[in-house]
Amino acid sequence: MTHTAEGDAATSVSSTRRGLLGASLAGAALSLVAGRATSASTGERVNAADLELLLFAQSLELAARDLYAAAITAGTDDPLFGFLADQHEAYAQGIASFIGEPANARDDAVYDELEASFTAFDRTSVATAGYDLESAAVATHTELLALLENADGAKVIASMLAMEARHCVVLADMSGRGDDLNVLLVNTADPILPEELS
Amino acid sequence: MSAAEPRATFDRRQLLRTGGLTLSLGAIIAACGEDRAGGTDPGRVGEAPSVTPLPEGTVDDIVLLRTAQSLEHSAIDAYAAARGLDVLSAHQDAIAQRFVDDHTGHSVALGGFITDAGGEEFACANPWVTRRVITPIFDAIDDSDDPLRDVLNVAHALESLAAASYQSLVGSLTLPDLRMKIMQIGADENRHAAALAIAITGAPDGYVSPLLLGETAPEEEPEFPALWAVPSTFGMVSAVELVVGAPNEEGQRFSIDLQTPAANTFVYADQSC
Digit-coded pLDDT (tens) for B61-87: 999 999 999 999 999 999 999 999 999
Identify the band that residue B220 occupies on the pLDDT scale cut at 50, 70 and 90: confident
Q: Of A16, A147, A167, which is closest to B230 when you measure between CB atoms? A: A167
Interface touch B235/A185, C-beta < 8 Å:
no
Measure the CA–CA gap between A51 and A29, rounded to whole angstroms: 20
**Residue B37 falls inside a structural domain:** no
Q: Is the pLDDT of residue B206 over 90?
A: yes
| Mean of pLDDT over chain B | 89
Average pLDDT over residues B200-217: 94
Q: What is the CATH number of the domain that holds B226?
A: 1.20.1260.10
Interface touch A173/B212, C-beta < 8 Å:
no
Average pLDDT over residues B158-165: 98
Count other C-beta atoms under 10 Å from residue A180's C-beta: 12
CA A15 from chain centre, in angstroms, equals 16
CA angle (B185, B191, B194) in 5-degree steps: 145
**Residue B217 falls inside a structural domain:** yes
- Identify the closest residue of chain A to B202 by CA–CA distance: A173
Q: Is the pLDDT of residue B23 over 90?
A: no
Quick check: A20 contacting B, CB < 8 Å?
Answer: no
Identify the band that residue B16 occupies on the pLDDT scale cut at 50, 70 and 90: low
Q: Which domain holds residue B176?
A: 61-258
Identify the band that residue B104 occupies on the pLDDT scale cut at 50, 70 and 90: very high
Interface touch A166/B176, C-beta < 8 Å:
no
How many domains in chain B?
1
DSSP state of B33: -
**Residue B53 falls inside a structural domain:** no
**Residue B54 falls inside a structural domain:** no
Helix (H) or strand (E) holding B108: helix B90-116
- Identify the closest residue of chain A to B164 by CA–CA distance: A162
Give me the pLDDT at residue A1, please: 46
**Residue B184 falls inside a structural domain:** yes
Q: Of B176, B188, B236, which is closest to A145 when you measure between CB atoms? A: B176
Q: How far is B252 from chain A (nearest CA, A)?
A: 32
pLDDT, tens digit (0-9, with 9 covering 90-100), for B123-139: 999 999 999 999 999 99
B56 burial type by CB count under 10 A (0-12 exposed, 13-18 middle, 19+ buried): exposed
- Choose, out of A50, A54, A89, A145, the residue to mutate when testing the contact with B (most B CBs < 10 Å): A145
Interface touch A162/B234, C-beta < 8 Å:
yes
**Residue B111 falls inside a structural domain:** yes
Identify the band that residue B22 occupies on the pLDDT scale cut at 50, 70 and 90: low
**Which residue type occupies A86?**
D
Give me the pLDDT at residue A197, please: 66
A36 burial type by CB count under 10 A (0-12 exposed, 13-18 middle, 19+ buried): middle
Phi, psi values for residue A145, rounded to 5° = -60, -30
DSSP state of A45: B
What B270-273 contacts at long range (C-beta under 8 Å, 24+ apart), as own/partner pairs, is: B270/B55, B271/B66, B271/B122, B271/B127, B272/B120, B272/B122, B273/B122, B273/B123, B273/B124
DSSP structure string for B185-238: HHHHHHHHHHHHHHHHH-TTTTTB-GGGGTPPPPSSPPSS----SB-SSS---S
**Residue B104 falls inside a structural domain:** yes
List the pLDDT tens digit at each of the 198 positions of chain A.
433 333 333 333 333 333 443 444 444 444 444 333 333 456 678 999 999 999 999 999 999 999 999 999 999 979 999 999 999 999 999 999 999 989 989 999 999 999 999 998 899 999 999 999 999 999 999 999 999 999 999 999 999 999 999 999 999 999 999 999 999 999 999 999 877 666
Q: Return the percent helix, strand and coil in chain B, to nearest 5.
A: 50, 5, 45
CA angle (B180, B188, B270) in 5-degree steps: 65
Q: Is the pLDDT of residue B249 over 60?
A: yes
**Residue B204 falls inside a structural domain:** yes
Give me the pLDDT at residue B25, please: 53
pLDDT, tens digit (0-9, with 9 covering 90-100), for A1-36: 433 333 333 333 333 333 443 444 444 444 444 333
Give me the pLDDT at residue A195, please: 72
Interface touch B207/A160, C-beta < 8 Å:
no
ipTM (interface pTM): 0.82
pTM of the model: 0.82
Give me the pLDDT at residue B9, please: 52
Give me the pLDDT at residue A17, please: 37
Whether residue B204 is preceded by a cis peptide bond, meaning omega within 30 degrees of 0, is yes
Question: Among residues 98-157 of chain A, which lie with CB inside 8 Å of chain B?
Answer: 138, 141-143, 145-149, 151-152, 154-155
